[in-house]
Structure formats: structure tokens, C-alpha cells
Structure 1
Amino acid sequence: MNREQLFSIANDWFQNQGWKPFPFQTQTWTAFLQGKNGLLNAPTGSGKTYALWLPIVLNYIKNNPDYKTKHTPGLKAIWITPLRSLSVEIKQAAERVVNDLGTKMTVGIRSGDTSASERAKQKGKMPDLLVTTPESLQLLLATKGYDKIFGNCTAIVIDEWHELLGTKRGVQTELALSRLKSIAPNMRIWGISATIGNLQQAQEVLLGVDSEAYRNSVLIKAQIHKKIKVISIIPDKMETYPWRGHMGLHLIDEVAKIVKASKTTLIFTNVRSACEIWFQRLLEKYPEFAGEMAMHHGSIDRETRLWVENAIRNEELKVVVCTSSLDLGVDFAPVETIIQVGGPKGVARFLQRAGRSGHQPGKESVIYFLATHAIELIEASALKKAVENSVIEDRVPYLNSWDVLVQYLNTLAVSDGFIPDEIFQEVKGTFCYQAMTEENWNWVLNFITNGSQSLQAYDEYKKVEIEEDGRFKINSRLIAMHHRMQIGTIVGDAVLNVKFMSGGYIGTIEEWFVSKLKPGDTFIFAGKQLELFRIRNMQVLVRKADPKKKSKVVSWMGGRMALSAQMSELLRQELYRANTDDLSPELKALQPLFARQRKESIVPRDDQFLIETFKTREGYHAIFDPFEGRFVHEALASLLAYRISLLLPISFSLAYNDYGFELLSDQEIDMQNVLDNNLFSTEYVHHDLQKSLNATEMARRKFRDIAVIAGLVFTGFPGKMVKTKHLQSGSQLLFEVFRDYEPDNLLFQQAYRETFEHQLEEGRLIMALERINNQEIIWKQCLKPTPFSFPLITDRLREKLSSETLAERIKKMTASYMK
């Protein structure tokens, strides 16, 4: 069958659905059928899935002319999705194509949710088209005879590649692809990516540096301009002294109005605890939403999440309060409106969420931005500009993730074993390990066979044996079982299942939260008020609580996101615009706040950097406003405090948020001395950071994750997980052994490197210092806190006071400052 005939099959199928293919879809079909690899960049809800399922099936038809009567079973294509929740929908899309075109191809899912019986069935007979996750793909590589499973595979598609890039799951995928290229020579590699800045690099990471696959590849961009309408919810009365902590609940009536006027609304919060609170408050104030409102986040049980997703599709729900669990690819055509509560901290995330509404080609997306405090309105204004000018973040790929490499080599050793020289060439061809030396490689091989030089005396670290033919293999069944159970790179706090005593699973919560509760305490989770009965075998047994009892809302550790570099830049530009006549509606609404700020201090221009100092009964405050995001400010605050302490004996307590940081002391800082001594210098930053922060403590925490991924510590069996504190102490012991006896250990060095590169964002920190050095530093000695410094002061109070008393206290403070 020639390409014309194949295209006619595809076009007829599209016509039967009442659709017309987009140019990017036909371009992808052409490139795929020519045997090319590639990266497809298209906005959410534009038909990316059919751009690749169709050519995969057409290619099968081309190679099997009698496909309607004969069928050769075996794996023909793999579709990788970062989220298990998307797999059902991707499977349905594939089934629609294979059934309508009359092929006898089968479609299956393999993920953490796949039952043991289904897996056993797949072991005997793989589906033709498999939808799976990066972790489950690694588990297949840990299967004996995996080369026969994948040998005839013609395609692998990595969906939502922008979500995997810049994570260790992305590195895991790179390694799997490096192996599959060798064992499945006819396999085409395709990535699908929505919002991302560094597309060219994303393609290189996917296909391998300077590889044959990269040379024979295309980058296809969908020329579809997605119309996005951003509307800020501007309160009638603007707070002159903004404070964080009220989650925007003072605008709940505005939200209810939008919900009532719209068919279906998704309310996005940034963290799960805010999701729980918004759901609760909406239900309390608007009981008429009961039955039409649901909640969706990653810790609620799967059955409930699936029910919610289907109910949105079938238009049975009016409003869903959710987190990033609904950010990606799930297709919700009926959603009319999106409300984003609080700054999303990144442009890509905002666009992704906006794309959930009008999730059909040609439809306009409508997103409302609800600022939880006044200064967040500047973020809203900046996001509007970003949407207009299509400014999107880069995703920075990982380099030299030795922990993921150790895990991968153990995976290959568990299945059929591996010959080091073969695998070295494959690994070296990936983006992540392009700079790996033979010395690094030999260190890793020594590590998996002997447990590195400082652990040679302990047999449990000698996992891999070298066979007579030079093959590296794991022969111990116990080690192999432990390894299979721990494959993956997502390391979080230990989670416990929450169940009713009468039976019935509700979801999962983190160990650190439960450890603070005692039997009889009540908490709100998954929209229910629950009372803790007891904790047994990693299960939290609960019963329904008395609704009159005061309850805590569940919170999670992974809650704090920081502003991306692009978002920070946009925010600063918007702030500087406050000094011009070119004001957006948001900046106009903030005029009372800016007027108050100018009365006490200034609103900085683009060539100015503002420092404010004042005294309260807490002590002497120095506030700095780089507008660079929480992580950079955490590092900057420590760096500056350390450098000042070298000039004079002084101690500080530090506070930081996304806009700035504060140094608080019981003695006055000689700010002129700070400026005269050029304490914002970029020289010796790395050295000073190591000294100022407890870098060792941060690296120790980072090392726990590295130790888990590299298999140095075992996390436990299902239902009998090792407690977090035991994992922590086990990994800490290893950290200290390496620090004292083997400082050149690659995993030990990686912990420090990741702390500086990923947690403290050292590169961004240096760029921020360079910018400050080129600005005029304006030091304002204020008599009282200014609107810009107020959020930092109230942040510290929030940790001491309950929300009610905090609100009262802030009311009094605001009244006194307004005098």
C-alpha cells in the first residue's frame, strides 16, 4: 500500500468522526511513515494523540496487507505517559482507531494500577499497543528475555515530554530509550510536548546527543494560535497592607457567581491543603452546590478520581476543586471556565491550566485569576503579558544523575545481565551522561559489584556478580525482588492509607502529618470530617467525626513552589511599569497600595534596587526586594547574613517569600557599611553559600532520595513500608561514612551538586546578584513597615497564630500603620 492509499484511509476515518486533519497531524503522519523520529509541539486539546496513533496503525496496515483477516500478535508500539490517570483515555483513543479501521490489534495498559492477573496475562501475550509509565517500562526491562518482548516494536511515543524533561523520570526514560534503540532497530522515537521554551534541546535530550536517531528526526510545530482570555477577579476594596494566608477566601462570593454563570468550572489551587479548604468553605457557604461539586487531588483514592473525571466528561458536575492532578492531558471538552486561585508561579503551568477550558481545536479558553493578596495582582498582570507574547519557561535537563544510572544497571542485571562495553556506548550517547568518563563508569560498575571502597566489607551492597562470560548479573532472588519493588525515581515522604474502620478506602496522607495526631483528634480530608481511631500497619483507621468539633485540614510537605525565572522577570517588568502611564487594569486597581508605598518609601524603577529598614517591637528589620522567587531568596538571605556577620558580630532570623527576604536582628544593621563593602558581589558565591547555609544538612536530606533511588536503602514491602525516620537515619549513616572515608564518592558529590543546582538555583542567584550590581541601590529608612514589606512580617506571625487571631492582629496592625 502506498502513502496516498494510507492517507486516504486516515482522511476517511477523520471524516467519519466529523473532523478535518490539521496540517501538523498530516505532517506527523508523513514523517512517521518515512521512518523519521521526532518531537511534536502542539497546544493542549488540539488532537496530538491522533497525530501519532494513526500513523502507528497505518504503518502496521502498510506492512500487513491482509490485516483484516490475519494477525501476528506481539508488541508493536509503546505509549509512555507520565500520569497513570491519562492511560485510560489514551487507550480509548487507540481502540477507537484500531477497531474502526478493522485491524485485529489489541490495546493494553501496564501501570501501578494494573492487576496481578492482567500482568500475568501480558507476560504470556503482550498487547500490540501498550500504554505505560516510565516506571513500568523499567520493570519490563527487568524481565528475563525483554529483548524478545521489544524486538519487533516499531514505535515508542513519550507523551507530555515537557513534564518528564528536567526530572529524574526523564533521565530514566533517556536510559530506557538508549537500550530500546539497540534491541529494536526499526523503532521510531517520538515525543509530544505542549508548553516549553527550549524545544530544540528537548528534542536532543529525547533522541540522544549527536545520535543517528537525532540526525534522522524532525521538529513539528502546530501553527495553532490558542485564544486564551485571562480575567482578573479584582476586589471592590483593595487592601493597602497586603498579607498572605487568607487563601483568597474573602472573594468566595465572586467565585460562586462565576460558578453559577458557567456550565462546568475547574477551580485550581496550587496545593492540596488549599484544595481541601476551598472545597469545605464553598460547601459551607453554598450548600446548594452539594451533589454538583467534587474535589480532585493526587492523594484521593483512584476510584473517586476516575469517577470525578468521568462526571466532568458527562457534565454531571458543576464545579471541581482540584490541584495539578488535573493539569495534564485528560480531555474535558465540556469544561467552560477555569479559576486559578493564587499565583501559579510559572507561565507554562498557567497556560496548561487555561487549556483545560475550551479543550477543543479552535475554542477559546477562559481563565479567571484570583489573587490571594494584593501584590499577586501584579502576577496576574504579568501572566496576561506572557499569554499575549507566548513567553514560556525552559526545562533544564539533569546531567550526571549517578543514582538513576546505578538503578538502571541493576535493572539490566536483574533480567538477562549486561556486557559493560555495550552498555557504556549506549549510556554515553544519552544527553544526561554525555560527559561521563571511563573513570566514572568504572566507579559505577565497582559500586554495584563491591559497594564502593568504603562499603566493601558489607555483603548486602555487593548486588551484582560478574559471570564467566563477563556478563554483570544479579543472581540473588531477594536482591532482585527488593530491586523490582523499588524501581522509580519519585521519592516522597512515606504515605499511609486512610480507611474507615467499617472498610472503605479514602486516600493517602503523609506520615509526618499523621505523626502529629493522637487518637480522637479530628481532621478534614477528601472533603470529609474524620476522627483518628488508630494507626496500624501503615493504615490510618478513621471514623466519621462530630461536625461540631474543630478540625485540622490535612497538609502535605510538597507544598511550596517558587517563581520560575521567566515569571520573576515578567513580574519585575510589570512592577516597574507602575511608574509609567501604561497601566493594566490590575495595576490601576493597585494604585491605593502604590500610593501608600510611595508615602513611606518608593516603587522602584528598572534601574533601582530597594532596601527598606525600620524598627518594630520585634527588632530591627531590613527588607530586600529582588523579586526572584522563594528558593533564590532563601539562598540570598543566608549569603547576605553570613557576609554581614563577617563585618560585625550579629545574628539574624531570616524570612523570605517570592518577592523578597528579610533580615531581623536585635541590633541595628549599619546598612551603609554593607553597601560600602560591596556585599552583593558575585565573587566567592559558592564558598560563601557553603559556609552560610547549612549546606551539609541540605545535602544530607538530598542524599536520602539519592540513596533510595540507587538502592542503598530499602523502603520496605507494600503495607509494611520502612518509616521515614528510619530511612533518614539509615541514609544519614551512609552519608557520614562517605563524607569521612570516601569524599570522592559520586553519589555523595551528587547530593551537594543537586543541592546547589536544583534547590538553591545557584545559577539564578549569581544572575540576580549581577543585576543588583548594575542597579542603583536605594536604601530607605522607614518609620514603619511599607506595603511591600508587610507580607514578610505577617508570614512570620502566621506560624505563631491561628488564622482567626492572625486576621484580628493584622486588622489592628493595618489600622495603626494607616494613621
Structure 2
Amino acid sequence: MKTADLIAWFASRGWKPFQFQREVWKAIGEGRSGLLHATTGAGKTYAVWLGALKAFGANPTAASRHPVGRKVAPPLTVLWITPMRALAADTLRALQQPLEALLPDWTAGARSGDTPTGERLAQNLRLPTVLVTTPESVSVMLSRADAKDVLDTLKMIVVDEWHELLGNKRGVQVQLALARLRRWNPSLCVWGMSATLGNLPEAMRTLLGHHEGRIVQGQVPKQLVIDSLLPSRAERFPWGGHLGLTMLPQVIEEVANSSTTLVFTNTRSQAEIWYQAMLEAKPEWAGVIALHHGSLDRAVREWVEAGLKNGELRAVVCTSSLDLGVDFLPVERVLQIGSPKGVARLLQRAGRSGHAPGRPSRITVVPTHSIEIVEGVAARSAVAAGHIEARNTPVQPLDVLVQHLVTVALGGGFRPDDLYDEVRETVAYQGLGRESWDWCLSFVAQGGPSLAAYPDYHRVVPDAEGIWRVPDARLARRHRVNIGTIVSDASMSVQYVGGARLGSVEESFVARMKPGDCFLFAGRMLELVRIREMTAWVRRASGKRPVVPRWGGGRFPLTTTLADAVVRQLAQAGEGRYESPELQCVRPLLELQQQWSALPTPQTLLAETLRTREGSHLFLYPFAGRQVHLGLANLIAWRVAQHAPRTFSIAVNDYGFELLSATEVEWPTLLPQVLAPTDEATLLHEVLASLNASELAQRRFREIARVSGLIFQGYPGEKRSNKQLQASSSLFWEVFRKYDPHNRLLMQAEQELLAQELEITRLQASLARIATQQLVRKALARPTPFSFPLMVELFREKLTNESVADRIARMVEQLEKAAGGAVPMGNVERVKKTLAFGQESALGRDGDRVAKARRERRPSRPLPPL
């Protein structure tokens, strides 16, 4: 096939190829691998796909014929990996469009967890020429006994939305699969695609390992509009989520003035709330607005996606389930409820609108907190400066490697030395030492010294020729149905009595309910009838106040890139430069903060102290994100307690944290001491000592035990409760600690706790930055606009919504009088309404309770060295 054929196909659709598309076609034709980075909707898919058709469309096997003379489609030639099952069908449609005109002999199909059984069986006999699939399905294919024969015909692999996989274990799974496939075919062409990467060379090296590649940057003129939907009045004493649904009339107006709008939220709970609120405000929109998130039934999601594609829906309230590259041309604009908490996420969601070359993309941030207004202009400035978050691969996750060893043993077997060299070709395991490798081999062979007596953990053994295989058919079946690295809390189906399935919620949520209780789900008010066989049977309800389901995995901490941009905006305000509409809106708040205290800057660390009847307060504002602040707060409290026993209450948000002690604390003296930097080993020791590290690490271990195959989650259709899985992992945890204390999975649990839950790297960086900053300590006479939301979070923990509303309203009234301002009318009623929808907070909670704790800090015995 010639380039002219591709250009002709473009012309038939009224298009003209961009220069970057031609570059990709040329590079693929030369057999080169690489990474394509271009804006959403610029034409990345056809850049790579048409390049594949041009390079491999003349494959001689395409002309092969069936014994009876019928032409046979070429075997599997291109593997297209997508991070989400929801993307597979849409991607497949996009890939099929040019086939009829350019390569009618090629066949195309998809394989994922949603693929019907009949289609799977047909694919087991013969795979299509191009297969759209997920990382988990690729690993399942590698576990086939004939994997090498089936996949040996591959010429090219495309990894779509590489940024979504790069920084997690699913990306490590892809790295291992690519290393295996490259070993079978060294000339394999590999391309990654993304629109939101900040570290392109590292991202490409992680994708390609030690192989050379080319970065193609798609420079396509595309207008991007980032603005904010501003409240008529930004209150000077805000709290998490206080704006929230008060912005509903403006959101309704924006939706009404646009053809099709995506309303993004950061959590599924928040999506449920906003969908219901919009429907109550505009009941005539029933049927033309919809809800979309990952817990809804597949049929519901597909109906919503089809409505978006056909332009039949006015608006869809959604979560990250629609973040990625599904092509919805009718979408005119995007609203983001609350801060996106990251520049890359903002760009990704903005790209859902104007998803075509030449069409502008527009995203409007709808703040749920006054200080969040600053995040809008900060994100816009970061985009203008080209500042996007970098993503880094996890380093040597042994649970993924253990799973891969069993997968490869099923897929024809392996020789340890050969596989060791292959695994070390990946960036994730390039530093893997022989000792760790031998431990992994021992673990899959006998489960380590503490499990050697149990046959179920003798999964992989060498045969007479020295090839390691899985001889037990039962263990092979168990492994294949549990391949993957996605681990979540056990879910429970939600289904109408005698009717349709609606989706799933976390078991821990439903377990707290009793029959007759009501909850909001799938945009409906439901009454729980009974719970049976991991299914919550429900019926429609009305007239009762519902609760909103809570799901894990929905909290986004503020990224370093966006946090730094926010601090730069605050520094501009401190210099009297209110140049954007957002800063103008929030100017009364910032000026009052500066008048009563100070505004943070990149060169200063603001610390506020306050004495109230509750005790001694410290407010510190490192602007490092909620998880880092939780670690810092516990660390500082622990260090203070080494001087004298004290009890602290802790509240954190993305901007800072509060420590409250009932007894007086000499913060002017202690603060410089407890903020002093230490070496890495000492810091790790102190962080683990300051937290209930054993309990937190045990929770991480449950996920590791699942990925490594210690815990069997069950066959398809078999439900195992969260309690069962937790009990199993707890048993392994205790056995290993007692009989195998050097088990490397225990060490991994601790490492992941530090790296992911406590973000130890960011915490170290924050302490290092603090050491270079000037400490600005302000003794307060009353709470400031920045400290007020932290105080409210502690109230929420201790008091009921009713008394919290009264207390907040009274404090706001007193503070506004002190500031010389007017007190809003109906303040208590408005506060109560906001608290009723407390799940939507973006500053403090992001749809879940802010991490806070009441802990007694006493001098402890020294811990053993790490």
C-alpha cells in the first residue's frame, strides 16, 4: 500500500493528513517504534493505524487461501491495547472504518471482560487480524499453551492512552507482556499514544525498554479554552463543598445554552448527587440527561454512550469513566465540578469536547470552595506554561512478577535464566537482583518456607528438561481467571426485585444498611428490600431522605504541578496583582487572609497559631496534597510528643493541615525543631513510628496477596465477600510475620504504603523544600479564611450535621462582623443544605471523609532499624 492510498482515503472524508501523521506513517514503514504525543482529537488513532495498514497490509499471508479456494484473512498482525474495556468497542469502530476501502481482507475484533462467550470461543479458534484488547486480556493470551504459535504472527503493538497505564501496576503488566512478545519477535513494532504526558523521553523508554524509538510530537493548532464558572459572591470564610450545589442554577444555564455537555465530577457519589439535583431542577430534561460511572451496569453505560454519539443527550453527568479517548463528536463543552486536582486530568477532560481537528475544546471549572477558584486560574497558567505532571513506573513490584511467572509457565513454560534476562529488559525490573529473582522462583514453586507443606502453592515446577511449567490443571484454571492487577473492595450487585440489574456498590456500604433504608443510585431513589447472595434487592422509593453510596478509589490529591501553580497565583495576589477574573472574584478572601495573617509564596512557609477554648491550634500550609499533609501532620505530632506526651486531633486538606492539642504547645520553640530535615533512613523510621503502620501495611498486603495469587477470588460468577478475602489475607499476614519474617511481599506492602498511601517521595521533597523556605509564623486573634475550613472538618467529625450548621453559621457571623462585612441571610439553613450534600467537597474530602485522626502521642520505644 502506498501513501497516496492513505491520502485518497482521507480526501474521501474531506480530510487532509497533518504533518505528524505523515511522520508516523514514515517511521512505521521504516520499522521504527515510538511514542506519539498529540492533543486529544488531533488524529492520533489514524496516524498510527493507517501507518500499520500501509506497512503491513502487503503481508503475503493476506493472499493465502482456504483449501476450498476461499480467501482467508491474515492472521493476528496488530494488537491494540486500551486501558479500559469501555474504550474497546469505540476503538474497534474507529479501526474498522478504513478497512473496507483499504484492506477488505483484514478482520477486526475486540477481546476484554465484556466480550460475549460465543465470540471468545470463535477467537480461540482463530484471532482476527487486528485485536483490540486490555492488559489483562493480553496476559490471559500469554497463558495459553500455544501462546507462542498464536502470537508469533504479530507485527505491531499499539498501546493507547499510555499515560493511563504508565504509573501503575497495569503498566508494569504491559511492560512484561511486551518483553515476552519482543523475545519471540525482535523486530516487533511498538507505538504508544497519549495526549497528557509531561515526561516524554522517560515515558517512551518505559514503553520500549532498552529498544530505540522516536518521539513524534503532534503540533496541531487547536484552541483550548479554560475558564471558571464564578459565583456571584465568593465568601471570605469557606469550608469544603460550601459552594457546591449553590452553583446549580448557573450550571443549568450553561447546559441549556450548549448542544451537548459533559459534566465531570471527581467521584461517583458526587455524580449521583449532581444528576439528581439537575433532574429535580429541570424535570422536563428527563430522558435527555443521563448518568455515567463505572459502577453502573454495562447496558446502562452503553445506552448513555450511544446517546452521546448520536447527539440525543443534552448532558451527561460522569466520572473518569468517560475521561479517555471515546469519540463523542456532538459534545460541545465540558464542565468540571470541583477542581480536577491535576493539569493532565484537566487537559484529558477538556479534550472530550471539540473532539476533532480544528474544533475548539472548552472546559469550565465549577468551584465547590472559594479557594478552589484559585485552582482554576492556576491550572490555566500551568497549561500555558506547558507544565504537565510526570508519571513514573512502579519499581520492582514482586506481586506482579510472581503472577507473570505463573502466566509464562502456563504459556509454554520458561527457563529461569532466559526469563530473568527478558524481565530485566523492562524499566520496572531493570535493577532486579538475583536474590529477589530466586525468591520469586521459590515462591511460585512452593510458596516460600511457611507454605511449602501445602500443595496449592506448588504452582510452578521444573520438568525433566529444566523447563518450568504448571502441571496441575486445577491451579492453571484458578490462575487464568484471576489474572490482573486491578484490586478493589468487594462489590455487591444492585438489582430490582423481579427486574433489571442497575450496577454495583461496595459491600461495606450496603453492610451498614437494613431493609427499608433508602439510598441514591443510578439516578434513582431506591429502598433496600433484602440482601441475599451478594445482591442488594431493591425497589423504587420516594419521600424518604436517601444516603449516597460511597466507592473507593475516588479521591484525587492535589498534584505537585497544580499546587505549585496555586502558590504562584497566591504570591501574585500578595503583590496586589489580581489580573484574572478568578483572582478578582476571590480578592476579598485573599485580602482578608493577608490582612489577618499572610499569603503563602514559593519562598515562604506560612504557620498560623491560635488559642481557643478547644485548645492550642497549629495551621501549616505546605501545599503538598492531602496524603502528604496526613503524613506530615502525624510526623510533626509524633516529634512533638517525644518532648512531652500530648494528644492531638488532626485535620488535613490539599492546602494544609491542623494540629489541635487540648494543652498549650510552645510552637514558636518547637516548630523549627520538628520541621528540621533528617536523612532518609531516619525519616522512614519516624514516619512508620508516627502511624499505625502495621495496620496500614496489612491493608496493602491484601491487594498484594490477591495479585500474587495467594488469595483466590473465585471463578466467574462466584462471589466471595470482602470479609472472606480480608480474613484470608490476614491469615497469610500473620503466618508470614511469625514464620517467614523476611518474606518479600511483606516488605513490598511496607514499600507501597510509603510510596502510594503516604507518598513518601513527595513528603521527602516537601521537607526538603521547607528547609529552604522562610518560616512565617502568625499568632492569630481569630480564624483566617485559610484556617476556617480546617476547623470545620474537625467539627464535622465531632458533631452532628445539625449542630455543625449552627456552629458554622455562628462562627461565620462573628468573623464577618470582625472583618466588617455583611452576614448572608438564611445562613444556618444554607449551611444545613450544604452539609446534607457533604460528599461533594473538593477542598477537604473529594467525595469521601477527609483523613483525620485523634491519636495520643507518647514517647515510644525505639523501633528496629529498617
The aligned counterpart of 1:652 is 648
- Indicate if the aligned counterparts of 2:7 and 2:17 stay in contact, CA closer than 8 A: yes
- How far the C-alpha of 1:729 sits from its partner, in A, is 2.3
Give the deviation of 1:720 after TM superposition. 2.8
2:540 is matched with which residue?
544
CA deviation vs aligned residue, 1:416-471 (integer Å, no higher than 9, x gap): 22221221111011111101112211111111001112222222221112211111
The one-letter amino acid of 2:172's match is V
Determine if contact 1:682/1:766 at 8 Å carries over to the other structure: no
Relative distance call for 1:144 and 1:65 in structure 2 (3 A) is closer
Given that 1:155 and 1:189 are in contact with CA atoms closer than 8 Å, whether structure 2 keeps it comes out as yes
In structure 2, the residue matched to 1:408 is 404
Q: Does 1:525 align with 2:484?
A: no
Which among 3, 11, 29 is matched to residue 15 of structure 1?
11
Which amino acid is the alignment partner of residue 438 of structure 1? R
Aligned to 2:568: 573
**Hey, what does 2:551 align to over in structure 1?**
556
Partner of 1:613: 609
Q: Distance in 2 between matches of 1:527 and 1:807?
A: 27
> What is residue 172 of structure 2 aligned with on the other side?
171
Could you tell me how far 1:806 is from its partner in structure 2?
A: 4.0
Look up the equivalent residue of 1:816 and give its one-letter code.
Q
Counterpart residue number, 2:99: 98
- Compute the TM-score of the two structures, normalised by the length of structure 1: 0.96
State the shift of 1:818 in Å. Answer: 2.1
What amino acid is the match of 1:54? Answer: L
The equivalent of 2:837 in structure 1 is none
CA contact (8 A) 2:567 2:601 kept: no
What is the match of residue 81 of structure 2?
A: 80
Give secondary structure in 1 for the equivalent of 2:634: helix
Shift of 1:535: 1.4
Q: What amino acid is aligned across from residue 572 of structure 1 in structure 2?
A: V
Question: Identity across aligned pairs (percent)?
Answer: 45
1:218 to 214, 217, 233: 214
User: Contact (CA 8 Å) 1:245, 1:798: kept in 2 or not?
Assistant: no
2:335 maps to 1:313? no
Q: Distance in 2 between matches of 1:42 and 1:340?
A: 22
Worse-matched range after superposition: 355-364 or 68-77: 68-77
Residue of structure 2 equivalent to 1:750 = 748
Structure 2 equivalent of residue 700 of structure 1: 698
Q: Distance in 1 between matches of 2:243 and 2:481?
A: 39
Residue 809 of structure 1 aligns with which residue?
807
Counterpart of 1:143 in structure 2 is 144
| CA distance, structure 2, for counterparts of residue 506 and residue 643 of structure 1 | 49
For residues 311 and 247 of structure 1, the distance between their equivalents in structure 2, rounded to whole angstroms, comes to: 31
Whole-Å Cα distance in 2 between the matches of residues 31 and 274 of structure 1? 45
Tell me, yes or no, if the aligned pair for 1:713 and 1:731 is still in contact at 8 Å. yes
Deviation at 1:349, TM superposition (A): 0.2
User: In 1, Cα distance between the equivalents of 2:697 and 2:671?
Assistant: 31
Give distance in 2, aligned partners of 1:167 and 1:778.
38
Query: Using the alignment, how far apart are the partners of 1:31 and 1:804 within structure 2?
Result: 65
Q: 1:687 aligns with which of 666, 677, 685?
A: 685
| Pair 1:430 & 2:431 matched | no
* Residue matched to 1:297: 293
Distance 1:230 1:73 in 2: 46
CA shift for structure 1 position 379? 0.6
- Where 2:495 maps in the other structure, the secondary structure is strand
Which piece of structure 1 moves more, 530-539 or 272-281? Answer: 530-539
- Tell which deviates more after alignment, 505-514 or 453-462: 453-462
Partner of 2:196: 195
Report the equivalent of 2:774: 776
Q: Which runs of 5+ in 2 are unaligned?
A: 65-69, 818-866
- Quote how far apart the aligned CAs of 1:675 are: 3.2
Contact 2:534–2:721 under 8 Å retained in 1: no
The answer to whether the 8 Å contact 1:247/1:342 transfers is no
Would you say the 8 A contact 2:403–2:707 is kept in 1? yes
Cα distance per residue 1:476-500 (max 9 Å; x no partner): 1221111111100000000111111
Which of 341, 345, 351 is the matching residue for 1:345?
A: 341
Q: How does 1:98-497 map to 2 (within 5 A)?
A: 98-208=99-209, 210=210, 214-215=211-212, 217-246=213-242, 248-497=244-493
Shift of 1:592: 1.2
Select between 646-655 and 769-778 the one with higher mean Cα deviation. 769-778
Counterpart AA for 1:101: L
Task: Flag the 1:551–1:805 CA change in 2: closer, same or farther, 3 A.
Answer: farther
* Greater relative CO, 1 or 2 (CA 8 Å, sep 6+): 2
Cα distance, 1:374 vs structure 2: 0.4
Give the root-mean-square deviation of aligned CA atoms: 1.7
Q: What letter is aligned with 1:554? A: P
- Amino acid in structure 2 at the alignment position of 1:694: N
Supply the distance in 2 between the matched residues of 1:123 and 1:138 (Cα, whole angstroms).
Answer: 14
Q: Deviations over 1:662-684 (max 9, x none)?
A: 11111011112213535332342
| Alpha-carbon separation, structure 2, partners of 1:522 and 1:754 | 37
Shift of 1:811: 1.9
The reply to whether residue 738 of structure 1 matches residue 739 of structure 2 is: no
Q: Find the aligned partners of 1:676 and 1:664 in 2 and give their Cα distance.
A: 18
2:502 aligned counterpart, secondary structure: strand
Measure, in 2, the Cα distance between the counterparts of 1:332 and 1:187.
Answer: 32
> Which secondary structure does the structure 1 equivalent of 2:525 belong to?
strand
What is the CA distance between 1:708 and its match in structure 2? 0.2
Seen in structure 2, the aligned counterparts of structure 1 residues 304 and 534 have a Cα distance that, compared at 3 Å, is same
Query: Are 1:643 and 2:639 an aligned pair?
Result: yes
| In structure 2, distance between residues paired with 1:73 and 1:383 | 47
The answer as to whether partners of 1:403 and 1:747 remain within 8 angstroms in 2 is: yes
Q: Find the aligned partners of 2:725 and 2:732 in 1 and give their Cα distance.
A: 11
SS in 2 for 1:552: coil
DSSP 3-state at the match of 1:553? coil
What's the CA shift string for 1:760-814, capped at 9, x where partnerless?
1112112211222222212222122111001111122234556566444322220
CA contact (8 A) 2:73 2:105 kept: no
Sort the Cα spacing of 1:439 and 1:605 in 2 relative to 1 into closer, same or farther, 3 A.
closer
Confirm or deny: 8 A CA contact 2:574 2:594 kept in the other structure: no
List per-residue Cα deviations over 1:221-248 (Å, max 9, x = no partner).
Answer: 1012432111211111121101113461
Q: CA deviation at 1:29?
A: 0.7
Contact 1:464 1:472 in 2 (8 A): yes
Match 2:620 to one of 611, 616, 624:
624
Aligned to 1:766: 764
Q: Distance in 1 between matches of 2:58 and 2:76?
A: 17
CA distance in 2, matches of 1:559, 1:799: 20
Which residue among 23, 29, 53 is the counterpart of 1:57? 53
Aligned mates of 2:428, 2:42 — CA distance in 1: 31
Q: 2:34 aligns with which of 35, 38, 42?
A: 38
The answer to whether the 8 A contact 2:73-2:129 is kept is no
Instruction: Please give the per-residue CA displacement for 1:622-671, whole angstroms capped at 9, x wherever unaligned.
Output: 11111110011010001100000011221111111101011111101111
Is 1:169–1:490's contact at 8 Å kept on the other side of the alignment?
yes
Q: Deviations over 1:10-40 (max 9, x none)?
A: 1111111110011111111111111111111
Matched, 1:789 2:787: yes
| Higher mean C-alpha deviation, range 646-655 or range 178-187 | 178-187
In 2, are the aligned partners of 1:608 and 1:775 still within 8 Å (CA)?
yes
